[in-house]
A and B are shown apart, each in its own frame.
Chain A
């Protein structure tokens, strides 16, 4: 990549891919490290060259919480569960967990991505949201 060219491996592009129902990470061409979210500079070897790598849309729940007191824009959804999910290639990602009663959520349970109602907002940042659901 030319030094002055803008990278495609950005958070903006990650969410554009989510909007298409795709979970794509950036894989460093030089050292092979997989970045989710993608980054324009590899934090391992400082390369700025990457290829897209499709990540399987399922993983294991590492930890979770049930949010009762939510920020203004999420208040209509509260209480809701959020967790951090371990995916393949050593990457993790947080998100809301839906479609399961909170008392049935357990660390270690298998979850899948749900791109169900992906719509982008009109104002910045114009990102959609993905969710997790039980497998």
Chain B
């Protein structure tokens, strides 16, 4: 079997995603941690877990920074070295990479990696402002460019260069809402129609309300260990066999191309090379669909189709459950929700379920190899991880 395991996932947890009124971020994190511990009775958390890495984007939401120590405390992991990673919406994708490095370095045998964000208690205007901090201030935010605006700039260019249509973008939303309807932890578990998307109000043309991901509260976590220790904790480990991360200009405007994310392409190549796998080996993927155009660009950057063909790929049903390569079976950021700091390891949680055959109604048949793609901001950070059934 190709793809030497770097580390193994022996357990995973995910809180319910959605509007978690009356809950504080650390309490939602504890919910994800509880699931991960319950799934892995052979794990003795206080003895076994030697480090915690937590993805968290913004202290503005809860007036709370110092997230590493806070989450360690509330996870019952007092005194473990605990560190927050921040890379905008790729914060926990980057935390995952950091956790893999910690295990590979030999400094820790068993680590917890996760992410958390509590957002819905803030007004949409506040959330919009906090999220925009992940983009360039002096030339983008200063000139009134919002986050949907940045992805709209990519969408307009993609439509111009490749003939991608607004209907094709809408197909991403319809598909991901269908997948979300099968996920009891998704924020929205309701199917929508193409007409719903097309008639929703414009946020930043050509992107409409239903082209945008959700404002969400949520948390996620994984327990990682060395591959040789995995069977000590579980009979069903999932191996991470490839990891790639790259950065790009903070300003979208400085990039050579506006229709693909160079950081994602570089991260994908590194992950594929490390895993000795190619795009056609991937059975299912969770990609960063913060906006519908982002999923179409992800197909192309990850090699699931040729450049410019992403719109057709989704319109033809290839990325729907039952299709050639199901993408975002969890519902994605679009329907499952996007608690930004929790998204990267939340995607890994879905891969853990798929590759251990525990994805229930949304199970991809015979899924053996999976991929996650987590993007920060308008693409200044990207992480790609590849997983194999143990």
Contacts and interface: CB of A to CB of B under 8 A. Distances in A.
B52 interface: no
Residue among B132, B139, B155, B251 having the largest count of chain A Cβ atoms under 10 Å: B139
Interface string B138-169: 11111111101100111111001000000000
18 contacts: A64-B156, A65-B155, A66-B202, A67-B152, A68-B201, A68-B202, A68-B204, A69-B204, A71-B132, A71-B144, A80-B144, A83-B153, A94-B145, A107-B157, A107-B160, A125-B142, A127-B138, A129-B142
B254 interface: yes
A19 interface: no
Contacts of A101: none
B1 interface: no
A93 interface: yes
B24 interface: no
Given A72-B125, A93-B253, A65 B139 contact: no
A74 B205 contact: no
A77 interface: yes
B161 to A, nearest CB: 9
B196 interface: no
B129 interface: yes
A67 B145 contact: yes
Contact of A65 (B125, B156, B160, B251): B156
A125 B139 CA distance: 12
Nearest to A73: B144
Residue among A67, A69, A80, A93 having the largest count of chain B Cβ atoms under 10 Å: A69
Nearest to B201: A68
Interface residues of A, number: 30
B201 A70 contact: no
Contacts of B144: 67, 70-71, 74, 77, 80, 82, 96
A102 B201 CA distance: 17
B143 A82 contact: yes
A96 B149 CA distance: 12
A9 to B, nearest CB: 14
A94 B143 contact: yes
A51 to B, nearest CB: 21
B315 to A, nearest CB: 22
Contacts of A125: 138, 142
A71 B128 CA distance: 7
A125 B138 CA distance: 9
A62 interface: yes
Interface string A10-37: 0100010000000000000000000001
Interface of B: 125, 128-129, 132, 138-146, 148-149, 152-157, 160, 201-207, 251-254, 258
A37 B146 contact: no
Contact of B203 (A63, A69, A80, A83): A69
A65 B205 contact: yes
A84 interface: yes
Contact of B149 (A77, A82, A93, A127): A82
In order of increasing CB-CB distance, the 5 nearest A-B pairs are A65-B152, A63-B157, A66-B205, A74-B144, A94-B253
Contacts of A129: 142-143
A84 B258 contact: yes
Contacts of B153: 63-65, 82-84, 94
A37 B204 contact: no
Interface in A42-88: 62-72, 74, 77, 80, 82-84
Contacts of B129: 71-72
Nearest to B209: A69
A19 to B, nearest CB: 14
B149 A65 contact: yes
A95 B258 CA distance: 16
Contact of B157 (A15, A62, A92, A94): A62
Nearest to A74: B144
B160 A92 contact: no
A123 to B, nearest CB: 13
Contacts of A92: 253-254
A84 B253 contact: yes
